[in-house]
Amino acid sequence: MQTVTNQNSGGLRQWLTSNTPQSRFQARCGRTWLAWGKLTENRLAMIGLGIVVALILITILAPVISPYNPIAADLTKRILPPSAAHWFGTDQLGRDILSRLIYGAQYTLMVVGLVAITAAPVGLLVGTMSGYFGGWVDAVLMRITDIFLAFPKLILALAFVSALGPGLENAVFAIALTAWPPYARIARAETITVRRSDYIDAARLQGVSSRGLILGHIMPMCISSVVVRVTLDMAGMILIAAGLGFLGLGAQPPMPEWGAMVSEGRQFLLQQWWVSTVPGLAIFVVSLGFNLLGDGLRDVLDPREGD
């Protein structure tokens, strides 16, 4: 049985590492396998991946692993230090900080996820159109991009949230509006590099429309660079979301958002340090995890990196 299993494993490995793939699916699986092998060689990247996976699992299992109700107040237990009953202590309303951290991971992951799936496609589309068509289309789209890049992200997000009103949905929308310009710049640079390639000219001679070239040939070439930038930017998105929550413009009480938790505990920082320090450390660890993973993905996906 073990011999058969080893043979099957060896056959699968040979299929994945074949220099002559028989189909597009096999080629993609082979590239994914090689990229995963290179990523696993980077210990820091694997630590970052572990942190991100842990964040996702905590988000999914929050109702199961949370020891207490994250929003139920108990004034008889206010400002308790860390103990066996409350690992990270309690806050000024007697709420368990660990439970609030666990449920706060849901909002953190939701913010970065929603921003990533909205800002990245917008930036990718704007950048590829700008780089492909050039001329006045490029000038108009890039000047709009420059306007957004001229303002610091946090300041621009504060302006949008102030205009739209406080709330988690408005915070996500504001962060997404400030996050897309770097992706547009990256996609434009990649598009300018590949738009005169032989395979693009061949596809154009076969009658492929501009829309088909952009969506089917140019965008896939830009995705790897955009994915790396999105992963690296997620740490900044978390910090902006936490900053908005700290200022009272993000998730509203009693929602257990990490930035709001830091803000609520700042008045107890000198005597009851755990109220603000623990959620601050959570923000730090998750931001570090995305940065480490992003650095590893850059080494794997960047075609200009050598072996």
Listed as ranges, residues in the chain with pLDDT below 50 are 1-7, 306-307
**Residue 128: per-residue pLDDT:** 92
Residue 239, both tokens: 């910090």
- According to DSSP, residue 209 is labeled -
Handedness of CA 187, 190, 192, 195 (dihedral sign): negative
Residues 158, 151, 252: CA angle, nearest 5 degrees? 15
C-alpha closest to that of 274 among 35, 106, 79, 49: 79
Looking at 24-96, list the stretches that DSSP marks H as alpha helix, in order from N- to C-terminal side: 24-40, 43-65
Contact 238, 282 (CB under 8 A): no
pLDDT digits (tens, 9 = 90+) for 61-100: 999 999 999 988 888 888 889 999 889 999 888 899 999 9
Spatial contact of 169 and 212, defined as CB atoms under 8 Å apart: no
Say if CB 56 and CB 298 are below 8 A apart. no
pLDDT value of residue 126? 93
The burial of 299, by beta-carbon neighbours within 10 Å (0-12 exposed, 13-18 middle, 19 or more buried), is given as: middle
Give 258-278 pLDDT, tens digit per residue.
988 998 888 888 888 888 999
pLDDT value at residue 302: 65
Reported as type and span, the H/E element at residue 148 is helix 135-149
Q: At what angle do helices 274-301 and 97-133 cross, to 10 degrees?
A: 30
Interacting residues of 171 by C-beta distance below 8 A, sequence separation 6+: 111, 157, 161, 241, 244, 245, 249, 250, 251
pLDDT reported for residue 15:
74
| Separation of alpha carbons 79 and 111, rounded Å | 29
Report how far residue 151's alpha carbon sits from residue 46's, in angstroms, rounded to the nearest whole number: 34
205: region left, alpha or beta (phi > 0 left; psi from -120 to 50 alpha): alpha
Question: Cis before residue 254, ω within 30 degrees of 0?
Answer: yes
Residue 237 token pair: 């998105």
Question: What are 96's strand-pairing partners?
Answer: 90
Provide the whole-model pTM. Answer: 0.84
Query: In the chain, what are the domain boundaries?
Result: 35-301
CA dihedral 278, 283, 287, 290 (to 10 degrees): 90
In sequence order, what are the beta bridge partners of 90? 96
CATH number assigned to the domain with residue range 35-301, chosen from the 4 options 3.20.20.70, 1.10.10.10, 3.40.1260.20, 1.10.3720.10? 1.10.3720.10
